[in-house]
Amino acid sequence: MAALPMSRQRLNCFGCISRSNQFYYASSKEAINGKFIVGQLEAFSTQIIRPTFVVLDNARIHKTKEIQKRYEAWQRNGLYIFYLPPYSPHLNIAETLWRVMKGRWLQVKDYLSADTLFEATHKYLAEVGNKRSINYGSFNIN
């Protein structure tokens, strides 16, 4: 069976990354919706061992009623949701990860087909925190 042209296939990624390159991610070939985000945050909340803040942008899928209903339960597990101000992707360190992966890690050969692109993307994301890292500058609020 022939692969679909890349223009008809998508790989959507959701990720949580810390400045020390601790990384949690999930991907889907389906459109990411509020239900997907709830599921990922739910799974992430079961893995944390200390209070953790997740920074989300103001995308509509990050602010669904299902997500809002889970705030209290997640907080009891130590997961706190913080929203960035509108139009501030420069404050979201995950955006740096996506930019570095697209601009530095993915090679021309990775774009030969949807399969090679998806395989390379998964490989690079799985290496974050181990073989690959982002050097985030120190954060100073003073």
**Is the dihedral angle over the CA atoms 93, 7, 1, 33 positive or is it negative?**
positive
In whole angstroms, how far apart are CA 78 and each of 36, 49, 53, 108?
20, 8, 8, 41
Burial class (CB in 10 A: 0-12, 13-18, 19+), 97: buried
48-65 confidence digits (pLDDT tens): 999 999 999 888 889 999
Q: What single-letter amino acid sits at 59?
A: A
63-103 confidence digits (pLDDT tens): 999 999 999 999 999 999 999 988 887 888 888 999 999 99
Question: Which of these ranges, 27-41, 85-99, 107-121, 122-136, has the smallest mean pLDDT?
Answer: 85-99
**Is the dihedral angle over the CA atoms 44, 50, 51, 57 positive or is it negative?**
negative
Residue with tokens 């339960």: 73
